[in-house]
Amino acid sequence: MKIFTISDNIISPLGSTTEANVLAIGNGQSGITKINNPELSNDFFYGAKINYDLPSIDEYTFLENLLINSIEQALSSVDVDLNRTILVLSSTKGNIEQLNDKEKGKRIKLAEMAEAINEYFHLKHSPIVVSNACISGVSAILVARNLIEMGAYDHAIVSGGDILSKFTLSGFNSLKAVSESPCKPYDIRRDGISLGEGVGTIVISNDEKLKGDKMAYSEIIGGGQSNDANHISGPSRTGAGLNLAVTKSFKASGIHANQIDYINAHGTATLYNDEMESIAFDDLGLGKAPVNSLKGYFGHTLGAAGIIESILTIRQLNANQLMKSEGFNQLGVSRKISVIEKTKKKNIDIALKTVSGFGGCNAAIIFKKA
């Protein structure tokens, strides 16, 4: 059975539609700015925060309103049978900011948040929550694909989101992982991540006739996941876990490394992540494939990252255009990888998206032009 992406939406500091985000990136804009917000941090920090108003409903939290807006936009261009549709929600922290609200304390549990969104759209089936560190978004897409392939559903709404919070910032600061400037994936000057907030939604289906925006259309031909069990917050230094996830995706899709035209990697701009990825890609025979990280535009959006970046992977696939890896100037990893230094045209038929996260988790997914 073939499974397709048929519609999408991105809400980020760069805009509230996928098209606005693509345009902003094409114009060289980044959503990362210097932020002074005592509710988030006692000090200035560089991050990507949504600073414009969207339609909102009082009974829902900020994140829930973002998710609702994103899902509504993604569904507006396709006519799917909601009785045969499952909601798969991806988030690492959910309504974590509600911990500070003793009076409201709305839906701190991820399952409760998912149910609230599910009820808003009157979906028949109970939602599924995927929360597995920074690979959550790609994991959610793979879970949805598997459910459709099994025949349990015909369509899936895969939506992921996380927002900036004091909890998250303090956690990454305690690991000394936050950069003192906008993040620089794969660059010799990289010194950590920039955190961001955003939401991404992909609608996937087994019906290839259901096309919303043709630029959102692709076939999901394979994927794989793994865990290197190396460290609670650090990946395997050998790239073994990521290597295994990509190898599984190759096996599932029936393709080889030399067929990959483009890689959108995790690229957090931390010392160990970027180095590990360079080793894994080189060992897999992918060192010559063009690679970029989109973290320089959005920051690290945690549970939304895998979805937002998958959407833009598909958009690059259909536009035959590779986006510059923002923040990169000089290669700062030990293995030779082909980081994209400027936006350029290139015929792309097959793209690989990879992610890695805390606890040693790794995931890969392969999209094909359809």
Is residue 322 very low, low, confident or very high in pLDDT (cuts 50, 70, 90)? very high
User: In the structure encoding, which two tokens stand for residue 47, read together?
Assistant: 């991050």
Average pLDDT for 17-44 = 96
What does the alpha-carbon distance between residue 95 and residue 97 come to, in Å, rounded to a whole number? 5
> Which percentage of the chain shows pLDDT scores above 90?
93
Residues 93-108: b if buried by 16+ CB within 10 A, e if exposed: bbbbbbeeeeeeebbb
- CATH class of domain segment(s) 221-369: alpha beta
Provide the CB-side half-sphere exposure for 346 (13 A, CA).
Answer: 20
Residue 101 has a pLDDT of 75
Residue 232 has a pLDDT of 87
List, as one string, the DSSP characters of 257-302: GGG--EEE------HHHHHHHHHHHHHTT-TTSEEE--HHHH-B-G
Is residue 170 very low, low, confident or very high in pLDDT (cuts 50, 70, 90)? very high
Residues in the chain: 370
Domain boundaries, the chain: 3-214, 221-369
**Contact between 294 and 355 (Cβ < 8 Å):** no
Residue 211 has a pLDDT of 84
Quick check: 105 pLDDT over 70?
no
Residue 11 has a pLDDT of 98
List, for residues 282-297, the tens digit of each pLDDT value. Answer: 999 999 999 999 999 9
Average pLDDT for 291-318 = 98
Average pLDDT for 301-312 = 98
Q: Please name the fold of domain 3-214.
A: Peroxisomal Thiolase; Chain A, domain 1 (3.40.47)
Average pLDDT for 86-92 = 98
User: In the structure encoding, which two tokens stand for residue 100, read together?
Assistant: 């500070």
**Contact between 134 and 92 (Cβ < 8 Å):** yes
Residue 103 has a pLDDT of 62
**Contact between 91 and 136 (Cβ < 8 Å):** yes
Tell me which residue of 123, 14, 121 sits closest to 76, measured CA to CA: 121
Q: Poorest-confidence range of 185-189, 206-210, 245-249?
A: 206-210
Is the model more confident about 354 or about 233?
354
Round to the nearest angstrom and report the end-to-end CA distance of the chain.
14
**Contact between 107 and 61 (Cβ < 8 Å):** yes
Average pLDDT for 340-365 = 97
User: In the structure encoding, which two tokens stand for residue 256, read together?
Assistant: 């080889």
Average pLDDT for 51-57 = 96
3-class secondary structure, 147: helix
Going from the C-alpha of 356 to that of each of 120, 183, 263, 278, the distances in angstroms are 32, 17, 14, 13
Quick check: 233 pLDDT over 90?
no
Radius of gyration of the chain (CA): 19
What does the alpha-carbon distance between residue 176 and residue 212 come to, in Å, rounded to a whole number? 43
What does the alpha-carbon distance between residue 318 and residue 153 come to, in Å, rounded to a whole number? 26
Sign of the CA dihedral with 145 first, then 150, 154, and 156 last: negative
Q: What is the DSSP letter of 232?
A: S
Residue 65 has a pLDDT of 98
Quick check: 210 pLDDT over 80?
yes
List, for residues 242-275, the tens digit of each pLDDT value. Answer: 999 999 999 999 999 999 999 999 999 999 999 9
Number of H helices, E strands in the chain: 9, 16
> Is 221-369 in the same CATH topology as 3-214?
yes
Quick check: 102 pLDDT over 70?
no
Is residue 104 very low, low, confident or very high in pLDDT (cuts 50, 70, 90)? low
What does the alpha-carbon distance between residue 16 and residue 198 come to, in Å, rounded to a whole number? 9
Which residues in 145-285 belong to E strands, given as ranges? 155-162, 195-196, 198-205, 218-227, 262-264
Going from the C-alpha of 347 to that of each of 6, 138, 318, 342, 364, the distances in angstroms are 21, 24, 9, 16, 21
